[in-house]
Structure 1
């Protein structure tokens, strides 16, 4: 049979047959006088065996010894089929665990109608802010900053970030937090020094108890090594008056020997 017929019978493409030739899985028969290669039934069986192994997830480079039943002088085979199956089963179990974990994250995001790019751990809290009356621009800005924070703190410190946001979204805190966010967003060239200072003071009065509560519980994250990244982020997102508030906040928290909120 020629290559087209072999491919049809085996349920593969001629291009796939050529690839099997190139990687050494399938011998190339001699060409006949008409220029076509003449494959026998054994070639068909070989391709069907390759398909079986591929369907199990066995990579092509591991197939030769399984296909050829190669054995050493002592009778041992290079690839023990039982070992290969054990490894495949273990790999699939790991994939299933990862898929199950991914589905849990998706369910959490769907539950709170959160965006797919939001850290799932923070989804419940952003749902609160999204319904608190904040403008879409402010919600997006907070999301972007939180995505950056979540990446920098890593999995180990994520519980701190969750508890921080949990406290900010308590019913008694939401009005104050959203009010500060709105005032911060309105800062611009027409804002006075008194306004920026007053906002920084209000920020400290609102957030200091939350940070103190977490610190008393022994919770804190050190982001000093990420200062340059935050500096680049704020300088690219905030205007001059907003940056002035950020500088005042840093000075106020440093003067008290306390870590800032970010």
Structure 2
């Protein structure tokens, strides 16, 4: 007769595994002998080896009990079903491997090529990596929510970079991010540029795409990004409001603000 440790060693499993098989009802738990120990015989060893063999083959523990009691035909049917499940899992894992291998680096993860190209343009006009990083995260949200709009939106954004005011805006924001100070003159200049750009877009009917403006959840997430990233964004919103504009992603003219800032 074997102790639980001797049984586990003979069958090539751990004592913890034997106890777990007891708990789930796969291996009967013997009564304790007069010395207070549980003793296992040959039948327990045979059962444990069968359980170990099936478990190592990939059979779920929930299926092992029925397979141990099955006749040859039922056992073969169960094996075929489990084999089909394993094949499906292998196919899923192979697909995952292919998808993992095709993932870009972390800097461009979840971004379409049009956005990556635009971010490179921002670097070329002098935007800092901190500003580019903030833009990148914002475009991840946009691309996830409106993938069909990325093409036309990016074309418009690239065209806007021809405007020297926008170039100046990105450089100012980069300077502010770099020095970390609440530089009021530069914040005022940023607000002036944003208000002027908003005014031009408003006059041209290009302020915000209706489909984007109606999506309150996405807009709220995009609006939260600058506020979460930099407390000075709140002051910038105040300055924009003084110039007749409210909002961030979905910029809107305040009632009664009809004159150009």
Q: TM-score, normalised by structure 2?
A: 0.65
Cα gap change, 1:62 to 1:76, in 2 (>3 Å): closer
Mapped to 1, the partners of 2:24 and 2:247 lie a distance apart of 65
SS in 1 for 2:246: helix
Q: Contact 1:3 / 1:39 at 8 angstroms: preserved in 2?
A: yes
5+ residue gaps, structure 2, are 177-181, 254-261
1:18 shift after superposition: 0.5
Pairs within 5 Å for 1:82-97 = 82-97=80-95
SS in 1 for 2:83: helix
1:4 shift after superposition: 0.9
Mapped to 2, the partners of 1:174 and 1:57 lie a distance apart of 63
5+ residue gaps, structure 1, are 253-262
Q: Contact 1:168 / 1:177 at 8 angstroms: preserved in 2?
A: no
Cα RMSD for the two superposed structures: 4.4
Task: Give the aligned partner of residue 181 of structure 1.
Answer: 170
Mapped to 2, the partners of 1:222 and 1:7 lie a distance apart of 65
Task: Give the aligned partner of residue 216 of structure 2.
Answer: 225
1:20 shift after superposition: 0.9
User: Larger C-alpha radius of gyration, 1 or 2?
Assistant: 2
Mapped to 2, the partners of 1:178 and 1:42 lie a distance apart of 81
Mapped to 1, the partners of 2:163 and 2:48 lie a distance apart of 65
Pairs within 5 Å for 1:1-262 = 1-69=2-70, 80-105=78-103, 108-109=104-105, 114=107, 118-121=109-112, 124-125=116-117, 128=120, 131-132=123-124, 133-151=126-144, 153=145, 157-161=146-150, 164-165=153-154, 168=157, 179-185=168-174, 186=176, 188-191=183-186, 196-202=191-197, 221=212, 224-226=215-217, 227-236=219-228, 237=230, 238-242=233-237, 244-245=239-240, 247=246, 250-251=251-252
Mapped to 2, the partners of 1:174 and 1:62 lie a distance apart of 68
Mapped to 2, the partners of 1:28 and 1:55 lie a distance apart of 22
Matched positions, count: 235
Cα gap change, 1:92 to 1:192, in 2 (>3 Å): closer
Q: Contact 2:138 / 2:222 at 8 angstroms: preserved in 1?
A: no
